[in-house]
Amino acid sequence: MSSNFFDRQRHLRRMSFRLVLLFALAVIGIIITVDLAVLFAFNAFGASTSDIVQIVTVSSIATAAAIGLATLYRTATLRGGGGRVARELGGDYVPEDTTDPQLRRLRNVVEEIAIASGTPVPEVYVLQHEESINAFAAGWSTSDAAVAVTRGALERLNRDELQGVIAHEFSHVVNGDMRLNIRLMGLLFGILFLTVAGETMMRAGVFTRSRDEKSGGNPLPLIGIALVIAGFVGVFFGRMIKASVSRKREYLADASAVQFTRQTTGIAGALKKIAGLPGGSTIKAPKSEEVGHMLFGSGAKKRQSLFATHPPLPDRIKALEPDFDVAQLAALQQHWAQSPPVGMQEDVTLGLTESRLAAGTGPLQDSPGKPSALGAAKLPSHWNDSTPLGLRPATPGAGTMGLTDKVATPEDQHYARAAMLLDRIPPDIRDRAHRVDQVIPLVLGLLLSQDAPVRQAQYAELSARYGPEVADTAFRESGQLVMLDPLLRLPLAEIAFPALRHRSEAEQEAVLDAVQALINADGRISTFEYCFSAMLHSDLYQSMHPKPHWHSERRSLRSAKTEAITLLMVLAEDDPAFRAGMTVAFPDETQGWQKLPVTRLDDVWHVLRELGPDGKEQLINAAEAVVSFDGAPSVREIELLRTVCALLHCPLPPLVIS
């Protein structure tokens, strides 16, 4: 399968169609089973044709309605996003400001990969009562996503292996798999619901049997048995659906994890430990069957190959390491039976932290006083610690940046750049961005102007909304934040958003209102202010109001021509750059460029989000032509491009132009 994000989206749409088709077949099979049972229970086979039609019609409608209502109910319970799924399985939220070494290591890994992949930092959970090695990602969108790992994964995996597992789950996040997976949970609940209903009717029939014997017998037990049989039909189709949806996606996620982490030893090592440790990847939680298709490893000890949601472990390992001898697993099992692995001790034994710190720059803390391995990402040879953080000039005569191949597909250079961006944010600022009680003044401080009259007006706004104490704190933050490289502003905001999500909904709404007031204080909105507010609104609003997103993204770029041209005009800084983009998007158009304020983008998002994979790919190619026209993209263009991709749900890694 192609590594291009848009090809994967097209494949995902085909899989969604297959899901709907199999679900429809399951429903039809269940309805036929129930109809036959009802006819038998009421001895209606000898009745008139009209009576049979009437009975079958009522039975079919009732069965379809039961399945539909059960599906809607389960889907509604999942509207809380990925965090809801994690909590249902017993997950405990990992605070942004945790000082526990294992949890700090986990959060650091998640943040690194989030910045490298261009996605919002998801919520992080640990399944404390699960001793096996497993993980999953869930959510309707990147803004309400959650990543959960088991306690066994934290304790048994070293940093490379944990990074490989998290990268595997991020692949599901950026490629849209998790939306398909969580939707599948609702559909499967609907077709399995009849088993519960059948068992209830069977029990009810037992209690009423003696009373109804004189009147010719009670049909409830027969109907109950039929519903249980129909439920088994649902189980059959449900497992077939999960297997058909999940198996190929797991191979792709393994391959994507290698792209994320730049090496195979991490994820392959995690798979070997699953195969070699007694607990494997088994999940004990009661709802593990429901989420089996979402897990990193199979949640059950044994599963028939026909219904397996995951490829066999040896096959996954050999796909990553073709020379691996499966016989080695027996030796690993014997070794680990005597001396179980301890992940953080392996980090020290292997010299992981020290060697990586020497290779990079990273003072990020996995635990108090101990640098993390973020510096693992080696910077390109022509960079060094004294190289300015701004974008490097393009090589003369270079072509385009190849953005469509970079979307949701981070490589070495993006990982290195994410490491550099996070590393250049001072530790005390990064710490406050993680703290729920300190994040609001920090976020507001990013928007305070250096112009004295405007700054005074902003201070008055903050004092009126939050009081002098918060206003003074925001001003102190601004004094330190103004020293940051401009390219650090959006990454800092992104690592602060998770802490904001854990303020109350009223506080989040107040922050959104305060942000609008601050950026409007001088009567104009800069590109950074617009990008910041747009990404903040998208992140907070979608986390507060997660939606199933049942609508299909099928609009063509031609049908969104007005909105696409508006976006290219805002992105371009002159007519030649605009025409370069128009040549890609609409080569037959002769419209000239006109300068538009960045706020005009508010008029385009509702249409451009409905573009199908072909339309989004073509639009991003056109945007790339605009930005790369002069060979030296500006900070303004890069911030806009990153925001455009984020709002179109096409995550863009940090750009490196060398």
pLDDT, tens only, 14-28: 776 777 777 788 788
pLDDT, position 279:
84
* Per-residue pLDDT band at 94 (split at 50, 70, 90): very high
pLDDT, position 391:
37
Across the range 103-113, mean pLDDT stands at 89
pLDDT, position 220:
64
pLDDT, position 302:
54
pLDDT tens digits for range 317-355: 887 888 888 888 888 888 898 888 998 988 887 665 433
Q: Are strands 135-138 and 370-371 parallel, antiparallel or unpaired?
A: unpaired
pLDDT, position 313:
82
Across the range 397-422, mean pLDDT stands at 68
Indicate the DSSP class of residue 225.
H
* Per-residue pLDDT band at 549 (split at 50, 70, 90): low
pLDDT, position 363:
39
Q: Which one, of 657, 643, 520, lies nearest residue 571 by Cα?
A: 643
Of 81-95, 111-125, 258-272, 448-462, which gets the smallest average pLDDT?
Answer: 258-272
pLDDT, position 188:
78
* Per-residue pLDDT band at 550 (split at 50, 70, 90): very low
The pair of structure tokens assigned to 371 is 């640098």
Which residues have a Cβ under 8 Å from the Cβ of 285 and sit 6 or more positions away?
A: 89, 90, 127, 129, 130
pLDDT, position 399:
41
Domains of the chain by residue range = 5-81+181-242, 83-172+255-345, 421-538, 558-647
Q: Are strands 146-150 and 135-138 parallel, antiparallel or unpaired?
A: antiparallel
CA distance readout (Å), 592 to 75, 120, 568, 576, 583: 47, 36, 11, 9, 12
Residues 487, 421 contacting (CB under 8 angstroms):
yes
Across the range 5-17, mean pLDDT stands at 71
- 637 CB neighbour count, 10 Å cutoff: 23
d(CA 297, CA 274): 8
Residues 185, 78 contacting (CB under 8 angstroms):
yes
| pLDDT over threshold 50, residue 85 | yes
pLDDT top residue among 257 and 174: 174
pLDDT tens digits for range 614-633: 899 899 999 989 988 887 77
Neighbour-count burial for 417-446, b at 16+ CB within 10 Å, e otherwise? bbbbbbbbbbeebbebbbebebbbbbbbbb
pTM, entire model: 0.72
Residues 310, 183 contacting (CB under 8 angstroms):
no
| pLDDT over threshold 60, residue 359 | no
pLDDT top residue among 578 and 386: 578
Active site residues: 169
pLDDT tens digits for range 34-52: 888 788 777 777 778 888 8
pLDDT tens digits for range 183-220: 777 877 877 777 767 766 666 655 455 444 544 456 66
* Per-residue pLDDT band at 261 (split at 50, 70, 90): low
| pLDDT over threshold 80, residue 182 | no
pLDDT, position 634:
81
- Percent of the chain whose pLDDT exceeds 90: 23
The most confident of the ranges 175-179, 201-205, 220-224, 445-449 is: 445-449
pLDDT tens digits for range 497-537: 888 888 888 999 999 999 999 999 988 898 889 988 888 88
CATH superfamily of 83-172+255-345: Metalloproteases ("zincins"), catalytic domain (3.30.2010.10)
Of 24-33, 144-153, 270-279, 326-335, which gets the smallest average pLDDT?
Answer: 24-33
pLDDT, position 536:
87
**Three-class SS state of 367:** strand
pLDDT, position 12:
67
**Three-class SS state of 126:** strand
pLDDT, position 404:
74
| pLDDT over threshold 50, residue 383 | no
- Percent of the chain whose pLDDT exceeds 70: 79
* Per-residue pLDDT band at 561 (split at 50, 70, 90): very high
pLDDT tens digits for range 421-431: 888 889 899 89
Of 36-45, 265-274, 649-658, which gets the smallest average pLDDT?
Answer: 649-658
Residues 401, 657 contacting (CB under 8 angstroms):
yes
Long-range CB pairs of 7-12 (<8 Å, 24+ gap) are: 7/613, 8/175, 8/176, 8/252, 8/408, 9/175, 9/176, 9/613, 9/616, 10/613, 10/614, 12/175, 12/176, 12/177, 12/180
Q: Which residues pair with 300 in a beta bridge?
A: none
CA distance readout (Å), 234 to 29, 77, 187, 360, 533: 8, 21, 10, 53, 46
* Per-residue pLDDT band at 76 (split at 50, 70, 90): confident
